[in-house]
Structure formats: structure tokens, C-alpha cells
């Protein structure tokens, strides 16, 4: 099968592209390399340096004629979306529509879409949140992801373009850029390995559902495998159903590093969501998926990756 992966040079997309290739599929990668990195691109994949908003994307889709599109590309920085909602909408909504229009022209069979479980539900009224939880995103980023979910339902209804929506929790792991839009784990790892004391925003009791990137990749493999059956036109949470606060992340990294950084708190970020955790019962049942990597094991692999990156830099 031929699969086109948008954002295939990025943190999550590159891991997904690798996994599809290892399963024997042909992979075409689209990435503008603004946040993605060329070193993440698997040499077995065909690569186009292109922004998903560009009209040329439609021609590439028609020329390549992929069976399935895995849409991982996005503006993912929640804080930037708050500062510049127009840019967020341009990339995430306009770029998504450009991709879907090209997919119709290219007769793509199915779209796998990376949505958000962390931002789409807003402040939860039940814990963990199932896919049926009310959708009250508090950020332009969450709103743009919800918009694309609604557009996918439209394209299914009008053009019979089927889809699978995967609502990710807070994904972490190797290749996550500790700069820019990175999550707290990547930021803390990089700072602690450099001997810097990380700053915990507010009281550090804000929680998230942290999911290791390998488990996210597995959900994408199963979505592809079942795209004509149990995954067709379905929405799935991809998380652990475990709430973890920032202080726990900080202390876990301390333990793994055998270090003693002071627990330093800064000002709370205005409008930051307090709690987030996902119900993954449906994903377990319909996709036969469940997370396999516990937090400490995932943190250790992530730390090892950043430590190796620092070693390579110091040796070059």
C-alpha cells in the first residue's frame, strides 16, 4: 500500500513513517521542515519539501496516487495559537482543506487524522474523558482540530472519503524538539541534562495524559490495518487513562538522573487547562490497542535519546 504522511519529518510523523516502511508499505513524506528535521526522514521514503497550504500539494497527490493519507502535519503550539489565531487556522484548517481537496482529486481511499485529546475536550466534567465527552476547546489550536474533524465528516458524507480520527494525549519521546512547541517532558529533559533547573509553572498540580510515541505509532498501524472495518469513520482516544501532574514528571526525571535539582516554581500560565485524562476503552475494544510503555520506561528512553544527541553534538 502507498501512504502519504504529512509532517513525516516531525516528531510523531517520522516515527509513523518508519513504522509503515517497516511493515512493507511505500511511504511519501510531505514536510516544510519548519519544525520537522531532515535527519528524521527515512531514506526509504520519497520526500517532498512542501507546505500543506501550497497548491502544488494537489498535483503531488494526483501524481503519487496514495491509497491512504496520514495527516500528522500541524501547527501544534497552543500558546502560539493563542497569540496568532489566524496563523493557526491558516495552517491547520486551510492546509487541511487543501489536503482533502487534493485527496478527492487523487481518489485517496482513507484519511488518518492526528487530532488532540488534550485540547479538544476543554476543562473536563468527567474523568477520564471518553470520545462522547462534550467538546469545549479553550484554545484556537483545539478549535482548529475540532474544525478538521467536522470537515472530515463532511467529506465522508459528500465524497465518501472515509477517515479515522486519533485524539492523542500528550505525546512524548525521542525526536521531540525541546524548543518551541515542545511539551514539558522534552523541555525538562533537555534542561536537566544541561544542568539547568527547570521552572514548574504554577503549583505543578496540572495533569495530563502522557503517552509514549511508540504507543501512538502502534495506534496508527492498527488504524491502517483496520481502516476498512473497525476503524472506518471512527474517533479514538490515544492515551493511557492515567493522570500525571508536572511535579511527578519532575521527580521521576530527578530519580532517573540521580540528581537533586531544587523544585522551582514560576508564574502559572493564564488559561492553562487544569486536568486532562482520556478514556481509552473504545480504542482497546475496537482496535485491540493498548499502551505498553509505562511512564518511567518511556522517560528513560527519552532521556537516553537526548543524552545521545548531546554526546553527538559535543563530539562533532
Could you give the CA distance from residue 34 to residue 26 in angstroms, rounded to a whole number?
24
Which residue among the candidates 20, 87, 121, 141 is catalytic per the annotation? 141
Query: What does residue 297 show for φ and ψ, rounded to 5 degrees?
Result: -65, -40
Could you give the CA distance from residue 256 to residue 195 in angstroms, rounded to a whole number?
14
| CB-based burial label for 74 (10 Å; 0-12, 13-18, 19+) | buried
User: Do residues 301 and 294 lie in contact, with contact meaning Cβ atoms separated by under 8 Å?
Assistant: no
Could you give the CA distance from residue 46 to residue 20 in angstroms, rounded to a whole number?
13
* β-pairing verdict for 244-245 and 207-208: antiparallel
Using alpha carbons, select from 210, 272, 197 the residue that is nearest to residue 245: 210
Could you give the CA distance from residue 28 to residue 287 in angstroms, rounded to a whole number?
25
Distances (CA, A) of 170 to 36, 82, 127, 129, 262: 18, 18, 16, 14, 25
Query: What does residue 69 show for φ and ψ, rounded to 5 degrees?
Result: -110, 125
Could you give the CA distance from residue 298 to residue 293 in angstroms, rounded to a whole number?
6
3-state secondary structure at position 167: strand
Question: Could you confirm whether 172 is annotated as catalytic?
Answer: no
Q: Give me the count of residues in the chain.
A: 316
Please list, residue by residue across 261-283, b when 16 or more beta carbons sit within 10 angstroms of its beta carbon and e when fewer do: beeeeeeeeeeebebbbbbbeeb
153: Cα within 13 Å, side-chain hemisphere: 7
Q: Is 32 left (phi over 0), alpha (psi -120 to 50) or beta?
A: alpha
Site of grid cell 476503552: 281
Active site residues: 141
Amino acid at each position: 500500500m502507498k501512504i502519504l504522511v504529512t509532517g513525516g519529518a516531525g516528531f510523531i510523523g517520522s516515527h509513523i513513517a518508519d513504522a509503515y516502511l517497516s511493515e512493507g508499505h511505500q511511504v511519501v513524506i510531505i514536510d516544510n521542515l519548519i519544525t520537522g528535521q531532515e535527519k528524521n526522514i527515512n531514506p526509504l521514503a520519497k520526500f517532498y519539501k512542501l507546505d500543506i497550504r501550497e497548491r502544488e500539494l494537489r498535483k503531488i497527490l494526483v501524481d503519487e496516487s496514495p491509497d491512504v493519507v496520514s495527516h500528522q502535519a500541524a501547527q501544534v503550539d497552543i500558546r502560539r495559537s493563542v497569540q496568532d489565531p489566524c496563523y493557526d487556522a491558516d495552517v491547520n484548517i486551510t492546509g487541511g482543506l487543501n489536503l482533502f481537496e487534493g485527496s478527492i482529486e487523487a481518489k485517496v481511499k482513507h484519511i488518518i487524522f492526528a487530532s488532540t485529546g488534550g485540547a479538544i475536550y476543554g476543562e473536563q466534567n468527567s474523568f477520564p474523558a471518553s470520545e462522547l465527552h462534550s467538546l469545549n476547546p479553550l484554545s484556537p489550536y483545539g478549535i482548529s482540530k475540532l474544525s478538521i474533524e467536522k470537515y472530515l465528516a463532511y467529506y465522508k458524507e459528500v465524497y465518501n472519503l472515509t477517515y479515522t480520527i486519533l485524539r492523542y494525549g500528550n505525546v512524548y519521546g525521542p525526536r521531540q524538539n525541546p524548543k518551541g512547541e515542545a511539551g514539558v517532558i522534552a523541555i525538562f529533559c533537555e534542561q536537566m541534562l544541561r544542568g539547568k533547573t527547570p521552572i514548574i509553572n504554577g503549583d505543578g498540580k496540572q495533569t495530563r495524559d502522557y503517552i509514549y510515541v511508540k504507543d501512538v505509532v502502534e495506534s496508527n498501524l492498527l488504524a491502517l490495518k483496520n481502516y476498512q472495518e473497525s476503524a472506518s469513520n471512527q474517533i479514538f482516544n490515544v492515551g493511557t487513562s492515567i493522570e500525571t501532574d508536572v511535579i511527578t514528571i519532575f521527580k521521576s526525571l530527578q530519580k532517573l538522573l540521580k540528581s537533586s535539582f531544587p523544585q522551582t516554581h514560576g508564574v502559572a500560565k493564564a488559561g492553562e487547562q487544569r486536568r486532562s485524562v482520556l478514556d481509552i476503552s473504545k480504542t482497546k475494544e475496537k482496535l485491540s490497542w493498548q499502551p505498553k510503555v509505562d511512564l518511567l520506561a518511556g522517560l528513560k528512553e527519552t532521556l537516553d535519546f537526548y543524552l545521545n544527541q548531546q554526546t553527538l553534538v559535543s563530539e562533532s
